[in-house]
Structure 1
Amino acid sequence: MSSLPAQRVELIPIDRITVLNPRERNQRNFKEIVDNIAKVGLKKPITVTRRAEAGGPFYDLVCGQGRLEAYMALGQLEVPALVVSADREDCLIASLVENCARRQHHSLDLLQDIRGMEQRGYSQTEIARKTGLTYEYVHGVSRLLEKGERRLLRSVESGHIPLSVAVEIAEAEDHDVQAALSSAYERGLLKGRKLLTARKVVEMRRRRGKGVRTGDTRKRTPVSAEALVKAYQEDAARKRSLIHRAQATRDRLLFIVEALRRLSVDQTFITLLEDEDLATLPQNLAERLSPTLEPA
């Protein structure tokens, strides 16, 4: 797509502007935009192109939907706009490129924008070049989109899971997902809090699926009694398994400690250790074996 040459800034009637690539907005961020424009005015005009149509002039929005909607929320009838020369397809692609190239993405934004560019015949290499993103990033996001991994994609965009690790999880069979996490840990890609968060995301993905809810999160589907019972039973089963493994480990440790304690008073065993120059024990082990010490 060629660049969009600027012509001039005009006051354009808002009701004559069509948004080609409408998108949902975070209401908190949108309120900040409205408040800022109300206090200091519009710092940067929106960008539109004139559309040839009877009864015009009419315009297609190239970029600036948030600013346009903020003006509408403030009751304004006109908005300052930079009028450029471009056809409808160029305007749509310019809007997609602007959305993709923002510093912070939302997983659903990427779903709409990168997929929109792919559906219009742009290769991943072309998308990377136009948006300023790396090819690896575009390719990874595309793979997640192809597999419907919106939950993983959202975790990537929030910085919880590296994109390469998310792709590995998406490509792995269910029984190999933990191996993918372990591999990422060994390579230093997931450490500390990020590893814990990644495990939670993987568990949520296993229980609730690859997708995420969209729309108004305040409208929640009522949870049935059967679903609550099932969730309780699954959680109880995990806790019982954890308790069982902990008790088994404790029993093995007690057995080992008691066996070593009895061997430590066996003269034949002591003589054998001395012959092998192993007459001393590590301090921690010796303290645990000592019968004179009170248990911690």
Structure 2
Amino acid sequence: MAALPAQRVEMIPIERVTVVNPRVRNKGSFREIVENISKVGLKRPITVTRRTEAGGPFYDLVCGQGRLEAYIELGQLEVPALVVSADTEDCLVASLVENCARRKHGAFDLLKDIRGMEQRGDTIAEVARKTGLTQEYVRGISRLIERGEQRLLRSVESGIIPLSVAVEIAEAPDHEVQAALSTAYEKGLLKGRKLLVARQIIERRRRHGKDLGVHGGPTKEKVSVDSLVRAYKDDVARKRSLVARANATRDRLLCVVEALRRLRADEQFTALLEDEDLATLPDNLAVQMRAERAVLA
């Protein structure tokens, strides 16, 4: 997208400005904007493009929704505006870029912009090029939103769970979610505190659902003695299952080590390995076999 050429700053009627890409504002941040403008005035004009219609002119907002709404809150009838020349698509893209640069964009706001661009015929590749995001990111966020994964989206936004891991969790059957977390740990994508927090998020998702609730927070479950006992029993059952799987894995590994130890004692087998240039073992396995021999000696 080409840079929007500035024309001039004008005082324009607020009632003639249309917000083409509206966003929900944080009330606390909005109050700060209002108080700041009421004390020192508007430091930077809003940006609009002129739209000529019968009874006009009218204006489409490109950047500055918070400043515009602050002026409305303060009872102003006109607002200083930088009037630029741009078509509708350039205005929407400029608005998206400004919001991405102004703050860490929210996944829901981002997808709303992306969907609007897709509805106008843009492909994922074109959306990524115009917004500066990667195709993988755009596609991943879209898949999470389509599945209603608000908890996972929140964790992606806060940097707790990588997007690729969140998508894998969202698409995995319930009984394979823990396996997805384990794979992420093995790949180094989730470690330390992030892994613990991710497990808590997944557990809340299992108990309370994918949605964060009406007010954006987790839905609340009535706490009772019975619910606490059930939660305790569930946790104990999961840990017992984990211990059982760990013991089974250990037993299998011991069988493998013992089998290899016996094969290594077979001179013909050893000679065959040497002929095939396979006479060496991974260091960890060799150490384990030596330890087993020491125990048996």
Q: TM-score, normalised by structure 2?
A: 0.72
- TM superposition shift of 1:46: 0.9
Q: What letter corresponds to residue 152 of structure 1 in structure 2?
A: L
Is residue 2:233 matched to residue 1:237?
yes
Determine helix, strand or coil for the equivalent of 1:7.
strand
Structure 2 counterparts to residues 117-196 of structure 1, below 5 A: 117-196=117-196
Q: What letter corresponds to residue 150 of structure 1 in structure 2?
A: Q
Instruction: Classify 1:187/1:102 alpha carbon distance in 2 versus 1 (closer, same or farther; 3 Å).
Output: farther
**Cα distance per residue 1:56-78 (max 9 Å; x no partner):** 22211112111111122222222
Structure 1 stretches of at least 4 aligned residues deviating more than 4 Å after TM superposition: 100-103, 214-217, 220-223, 227-233, 242-248, 276-279
Q: What letter corresponds to residue 9 of structure 2 in structure 1?
A: V
- TM superposition shift of 1:116: 2.2
Which stretch shows the higher mean deviation, 231-240 or 23-32?
A: 231-240
In structure 2, what is the Cα distance between the partners aligned to 1:178 and 1:150? 19
**Cα distance per residue 1:126-146 (max 9 Å; x no partner):** 222211222322222122223
Determine helix, strand or coil for the equivalent of 1:114.
helix
In structure 1, what is the Cα distance between the partners aligned to 2:228 and 2:199? 20
Instruction: Classify 1:53/1:216 alpha carbon distance in 2 versus 1 (closer, same or farther; 3 Å).
Output: farther
Which stretch shows the higher mean deviation, 66-75 or 143-152?
A: 143-152
Determine helix, strand or coil for the equivalent of 1:160.
coil
In structure 2, the partner of 1:258 is none
**Cα distance per residue 1:215-250 (max 9 Å; x no partner):** 587xx9997x7x9688546424325537878999xx
Contact 1:48 1:61 in 2 (8 A): yes
Q: What letter corresponds to residue 13 of structure 2 in structure 1?
A: P
Q: What letter corresponds to residue 29 of structure 1 in structure 2?
A: S
- TM superposition shift of 1:51: 1.7
Q: What letter corresponds to residue 122 of structure 1 in structure 2?
A: D
Contact 1:13 1:79 in 2 (8 A): yes
Structure 2 counterparts to residues 19-168 of structure 1, below 5 A: 19-168=19-168
Determine helix, strand or coil for the equivalent of 1:112.
helix
Contact 1:96 1:116 in 2 (8 A): no
In structure 1, the partner of 2:16 is 16
- TM superposition shift of 1:180: 0.9
Contact 1:12 1:80 in 2 (8 A): yes
In structure 2, what is the Cα distance between the partners aligned to 1:76 and 1:34? 12
Q: TM-score, normalised by structure 1?
A: 0.72
Instruction: Classify 1:19/1:143 alpha carbon distance in 2 versus 1 (closer, same or farther; 3 Å).
Output: same
- TM superposition shift of 1:86: 2.5
In structure 2, what is the Cα distance between the partners aligned to 1:163 and 1:230? 36
In structure 2, what is the Cα distance between the partners aligned to 1:127 and 1:277? 63
Determine helix, strand or coil for the equivalent of 1:18.
strand
Residue identity (%): 67
Q: What letter corresponds to residue 179 of structure 2 in structure 1?
A: A
Q: How many residues are aligned here?
A: 249
- TM superposition shift of 1:277: 7.2
In structure 2, what is the Cα distance between the partners aligned to 1:164 and 1:106? 17
Which stretch shows the higher mean deviation, 152-161 or 135-144?
A: 135-144
Instruction: Classify 1:16/1:25 alpha carbon distance in 2 versus 1 (closer, same or farther; 3 Å).
Output: same
In structure 1, what is the Cα distance between the partners aligned to 2:144 and 2:25? 23
Q: Which structure 2 segments of 5+ residues have no match?
A: 245-292
Is residue 2:210 matched to residue 1:210?
yes
Determine helix, strand or coil for the equivalent of 2:133.
coil
**Cα distance per residue 1:136-180 (max 9 Å; x no partner):** 222221222232222211210111111111111122221111111
In structure 1, what is the Cα distance between the partners aligned to 2:243 and 2:174? 28
Determine helix, strand or coil for the equivalent of 2:199.
helix
Instruction: Classify 1:86/1:194 alpha carbon distance in 2 versus 1 (closer, same or farther; 3 Å).
Output: same
In structure 2, the partner of 1:257 is none
Determine helix, strand or coil for the equivalent of 1:121.
coil
